[in-house]
Amino acid sequence: MTDTILSLSDARLSLDGNAGRVEILRGIDLDVARGETVALVGPSGSGKSSLLMLMGGLERATGGSVMALGRDLTALGEDELARFRRNHMGIVFQSFHLIPTMTALENVATPLELAGKPDAFERAEEELRLMGLADRAAHYPAQLSGGEQQRVALARAAAPRPDILLADEPTGNLDETTGETIMDLLFGLHERGATLVLVTHARELAERCGRVVRMRDGRVEPELARAAE
Ligand SMILES: Nc1ncnc2c1ncn2[C@@H]1O[C@H](COP(=O)(O)OP(=O)(O)OP(=O)(O)O)[C@@H](O)[C@H]1O
Ligand SMILES: [Mg+2]
């Protein structure tokens, strides 16, 4: 049995826009082993967020294959995909995607409730406390700063203890101290078994990851060890 948790093979993503067809991901080959920590880096527009969406089953590849925990995400129906995400994936978006009509506490508790956890609200409170947001639980997203919204999004993704945590710039809007706290929390999740794929421009965060994957123009650049061959 292989310990590959994510495996993309010639994965492609093209979207039809009003300016015609845009090739966003142009054939991605990437394997991530269970328990790895991967930093996804590269210039703006190189396809990092799009790749995360593909890995999380939020965008469907228009070519190639995307396997997660042995399941071919391109072959799952919408309902199966939603269930798969709920059971195995935590996703933190670049723009947070909090539900505006729910408080911070409700945002974090909802996925736990959907997963059938009877103590969803107690656990959600604890996650918010870990993020330093105990006193913001009753606030709506619009009443929170960008960095606070980001931490709520992270609490929501981490609460169900996902096998795979995908996070887009998890420390992007945070001051240094808060950023470090978040990094420690991310790597704490890793110690408890989660595989991490983090999009980041922060050198310190990338350096803490076991591997750095560099993207350019919708492709993964050859890794240094391989490039030197
Ligand atoms: N829905 C869409 N329709 C058309 N083009 C899109 C769409 N979403 C993204 N793109 C394009 O795909 C490319 C990759 O976008 P993506 O958001 O993945 O980049 P990124 O590496 O995450 O950039 P950043 O660091 O700025 O977040 C960009 O050129 C973007 O304009
Ligand atoms: Mg992005």
pLDDT in tens, 38-87: 999 999 999 999 999 999 999 999 999 999 999 999 999 999 999 999 99
Ligand nearest to the CA of 214: 1
What was the pLDDT predicted at 225?
53
The confidence band for 100, taking pLDDT boundaries of 50, 70 and 90, is very high
- Structure confidence by residue, pLDDT tens digits, 32-44: 999 999 999 999 9
As a whole number, mean pLDDT of residues 188-210 equals 94
Number of domains in the chain: 1
The confidence band for 224, taking pLDDT boundaries of 50, 70 and 90, is low
What was the pLDDT predicted at 31?
97
CATH number at residue 86: 3.40.50.300
As a whole number, mean pLDDT of residues 176-201 equals 92
User: Does the beta carbon of 17 lie inside 6 Å of ligand 1?
Assistant: yes
In a domain? residue 166: yes
What was the pLDDT predicted at 193?
92
Residue 113 alpha carbon to ligand 1 centre in Å: 32
What was the pLDDT predicted at 194?
95
User: Does the beta carbon of 50 lie inside 6 Å of ligand 1?
Assistant: yes
What was the pLDDT predicted at 227?
46
The confidence band for 153, taking pLDDT boundaries of 50, 70 and 90, is very high
Q: Is 215 exposed, middle or buried (0-12, 13-18, 19+ CB in 10 A)?
A: buried
What was the pLDDT predicted at 95?
85
Distance in angstroms (rounded) separating the CA atoms of residues 57 and 74: 8
The confidence band for 2, taking pLDDT boundaries of 50, 70 and 90, is low
In a domain? residue 178: yes
* Degrees to nearest 5, angle at CA 30 with 27 and 34: 155
- Would the pLDDT of 228 be above 50? no
Distance in angstroms (rounded) separating the CA atoms of residues 8 and 30: 5
Residue 132 alpha carbon to ligand 1 centre in Å: 32
As a whole number, mean pLDDT of residues 106-121 equals 94
In a domain? residue 17: yes
Task: Identify which has the larger pLDDT, 225 or 154.
Answer: 154
**73 contact partners, CB below 8 Å, separation of at least 6:** 54, 57, 60, 61, 66, 67, 81, 84
In a domain? residue 66: yes
DSSP sequence for 130-168: HTT-GGGTT--GGGS-HHHHHHHHHHHHHTT--SEEEEE
Retrieve residue 69's tokens: 């925990």
In a domain? residue 67: yes
Is residue 213 within 8 A of residue 220, CB to CB? The reply is: yes
Residue 121 alpha carbon to ligand 2 centre in Å: 31
Can you give the residue range of the structural domain that contains 218? 4-224
Residue 43 alpha carbon to ligand 2 centre in Å: 9
As a whole number, mean pLDDT of residues 179-192 equals 90
When the pLDDT of each residue in the chain is averaged and rounded to a whole number, the result is 92
Q: What is the DSSP letter of 221?
A: P
User: Does the beta carbon of 200 lie inside 6 Å of ligand 1?
Assistant: no
- Would the pLDDT of 141 be above 90? yes
Alpha carbon nearest to ligand 1 atom 1, residue = 15
- List the 89-92 sheet strands across, edge first: 89-92, 164-168, 195-199, 37-41, 211-216, 219-220
Percent of the chain residues past pLDDT 70, beyond the cut: 97
Q: Which residue has the tokens 């310190």?
A: 204
Q: Is 160 exposed, middle or buried (0-12, 13-18, 19+ CB in 10 A)?
A: buried
What was the pLDDT predicted at 156?
96
Helix (H, G, I), strand (E, B) or coil at 28: strand
* C-alpha pair distances (Å), 205 with each of 71, 156, 165, 194, 199: 29, 20, 15, 16, 9
User: Does the beta carbon of 43 lie inside 6 Å of ligand 1?
Assistant: no
In a domain? residue 229: no
